[in-house]
Amino acid sequence: MSLYGRYLLPVLTDLAMRNEAVSAERARWVPLAAGVVLEVGAGSGLNFAHYGSHVRKLYALDPSAELRRMAGPRAQRARVPVEFLAAPAEAIPLPDASVDTVVTTWTLCTIADAGRALHEMGRALRGDGRLIFVEHGHSTDPRVAHWQDCLTPIWRRIAGGCHLNRPIDQLIEAGGFEISEIERGYVRGPRVGAYLYRGVARLRASGR
């Protein structure tokens, strides 16, 4: 991996993921997590402060050593015990049906094989567990969607594999989940990256 990818990109990611609109979404959705929680693509740990007392334990999975290092101090300040998992979401090192909640924020855009990762999340989740997601993705506005499609090849290269144009709801459903709650729409910021999908999904009984 290049020096840019290993050291500079994690710092830029941490800075970019701290803006007001993003923080407001974290504060709204992350506290819904309960029990044993797996956060996929935990990054620099910006969600950690939002986990409340009904979380018994947090597994913070991220393949980036630099981001896990940056998340360390935030893990120490968290109100819940945090254990880091150095792994990609395509191969989650947890037993079947071992977590109550999976949380993913601004990560399904970046995971190389998002379909496989969602299948893995479903495997690690208990039957009555919940997937809480806050993700950016393909806009319903054709003009914005066009720009998302045009810009994604170059954007992926500078933003660590991030796709601007993934249809997040379809990916989640194709991964074996049923979405029980969803909000779609823009938050503040450049429209190509500001169309959000946020909500809650459960394992589809027939899909596994």
Ligand X SMILES: C[S@@+](CC[C@H](N)C(=O)[O-])C[C@H]1O[C@@H](n2cnc3c(N)ncnc32)[C@H](O)[C@@H]1O
Whether the CB-CB separation of 17 and 47 falls below 8 Å is answered with no
Q: Which stretch binds ligand X (CB under 6 A): 42-50, 77-85, 168-176, 196-204?
A: 42-50
Minimum Å gap between C-beta 75 and ligand X is 13
Q: What is the CA radius of gyration of the chain?
A: 16
Instruction: Give the C-alpha separation, 166 to 137, whole Å.
Output: 5
Cβ burial of 34 (10 Å; 0-12, 13-18, 19+) is: middle
Instruction: Give the C-alpha separation, 115 to 129, whole Å.
Output: 19
Q: Report how far Cα 165 is from the mean position of its chain's Cα atoms.
A: 15
Nearer Cβ to ligand X (6/143): 6
Handedness of CA 8, 10, 15, 19 (dihedral sign): positive
Task: Note whether 135 binds ligand X by CB under 6 A.
Answer: no
Nearer Cβ to ligand X (111/171): 111
Task: Note whether 111 binds ligand X by CB under 6 A.
Answer: yes
Nearer Cβ to ligand X (6/127): 6
Q: One symbol per residue from 7 to 26: x for binding ligand X (CB under 6 A), - otherwise; what is it? A: ------x---x---------
Minimum Å gap between C-beta 46 and ligand X is 4
**Contact footprint for ligand X (CB under 6 A):** 13, 17, 40-43, 46-47, 62-64, 67, 88-90, 105-107, 110-112
